[in-house]
Chains A and B, each alone.
Chain A
Amino acid sequence: MREVLELLSYPFVMRALTAGALISVCASVLGVILVLKHYALIGHGLSEIGFASLSISAALGLPVMLVSTPAIIIASFVIMFVSQKYKTSGDIAIAVASSFALALGVIAGRGANVSAYLFGSVLAVSQEDVIFAAVLSVIVLASFVVFYNRLFLITYNEDYARSLGINTLFYQFTISVLTALVVVLGMRIMGTLLISGVIILPALTAKNIASCFRSLVIVSGAVSFIAFTAGLALSFVFNLPAGAVIVMTNTAILIIVKVSVKK
């Protein structure tokens, strides 16, 4: 315990803790919408495509974030569009495209040092990451407060929202961009392969506890925050990669909740 507290005096630990906690909460809150709308694959697809763009830009000596961020945002539109238009066959297309992207990323990035992105690294968190994470959190949380009723309606039934004259495309667009940004930022800490777990798992846990949309969002955010801080602490204590331990913690919470709550 003392060691863990001592770690807090290191700036890099504080940066990882702050940025990571903020991103985890954003990811899990957006995850509620993605899970309820059966877009659970999106996080996974985005992170693998993100990894490919990271690797390729690193191999070509291009500025990594400047290239990957727009690439992931564009990918998020394409995925959202495909999964809506083609339903199940869309899911298959996303699975194929993202496996291909991951393979491509591994090959393209073999010269550059990309394994840090694959599994994440708390050492990689810069001051800018913390600022971006803070700005993103403010945007995500403010959106949920201001647009709560709208998000509720659109998540429940998009067609009905459209019949009321509401521009559902705008909200989808916003959710896509925010998810893409969460993935970009989360990839550095949690790792490309693990960020999708941080998006989906807390929402699944919350589904077992919460009975309305509002509590689902709140519980999901809280679970994610707890899993992140506990996971990060455990990763320091046992000297294990943080992203993996965080996802393990999330999975453990999900299993415990599922077994103990009969709904």
Chain B
Amino acid sequence: MNRLRLNNAVIKYGEIIAVNGVSLCADAGEMIFITGANGSGKSTLMKGIAGLLPLTSGTLERTQRMSYVPQIEEADRNFPARVSEIVITGTQRPGKFFYTHDDKQQAQNAMNELGIMELAGREINALSGGQMRRVFLARALCGQPELLLLDEPCAGLDADSHKILFRVLRRVLSGGCAVVMVTHDISDVDGMPEAKIITLSDGVILNA
């Protein structure tokens, strides 16, 4: 089953062409790594797939059940909220306004899986950078996505968190979720021999 089909996508910031004709397909249970130098257009591509930046040209088809973990969360660290409140927002969907019992269960499961259960009641301004990343991963997971977009999720994670992340990835992949993940670390790729690898350079895919 197809989760993502991006065809000849071009994304511009004003005059700057950040993504220049990228095509990308991901089926259920498929893992795609995106690598490339700083400024090569990886994050821009992810934002385009997430629907946060419009495509100047090209087409995008994807499942509505998508979770996106940005490279940098552009939100106020001093926002008055607890970890569990942030995590459960991942279950929100258009047209659905209240959390169900199942949503609460999913949020618990996600926090459990990422080992942040003991942080659940903590205010978010009292978290370390790495703990915060785990919170965002938990938020992405509890939406039970069919497509998971991760923009450099390993940056700032310790060995333990790294292991947890890959365990989670294997689980969601076997459950039929497609994963697109930006990374600079080749050892990430080695851990997933069946994954596709795409290298971006100046907004263009180098290999195919």
Interface residues of chain A, those whose CB is within 8 Å of chain B, are 36, 146-147, 149-150, 152-153, 155-157, 159-167, 207, 210-213, 215-216
Contact = CB atoms under 8 A, between A and B. Distances in A.
Interface residues on chain B, size class: 20 to 34
B52 interface: yes
Given A162-B52, A213-B85, 11 more contacts: A36-B80, A146-B97, A150-B97, A156-B89, A160-B75, A161-B92, A163-B52, A164-B92, A165-B94, A166-B94, A210-B80
B51 A163 contact: yes
Contact of B92 (A149, A159, A211, A216): A149
Interface in B81-134: 81-82, 85-86, 89-90, 92-94, 97-99, 123
Interface of B: 50-52, 64, 66-68, 70, 73-76, 79-82, 85-86, 89-90, 92-94, 97-99, 123, 139, 143
A156 B81 contact: yes
Given A159-B70, A162-B52, A163-B50, A213 B92 contact: no
A164 B73 CA distance: 15
B18 to A, nearest CB: 17
A211 B94 contact: no
B124 to A, nearest CB: 9
A163 B94 CA distance: 11
A160 B89 contact: yes
A212 B81 contact: yes
Given A149-B99, A156-B79, A156-B81, A163 B66 contact: yes
Contacts, number: 73
B147 to A, nearest CB: 11
A150 to B, nearest CB: 6
Contacts of B64: 165
Contact of A157 (B66, B75, B123): B75
Contacts of A153: 89, 92
B51 A165 contact: yes
B134 to A, nearest CB: 16
Contacts of B89: 149, 152-153, 156, 160
Given A153-B89, A156-B86, A213-B85, A167 B94 contact: yes
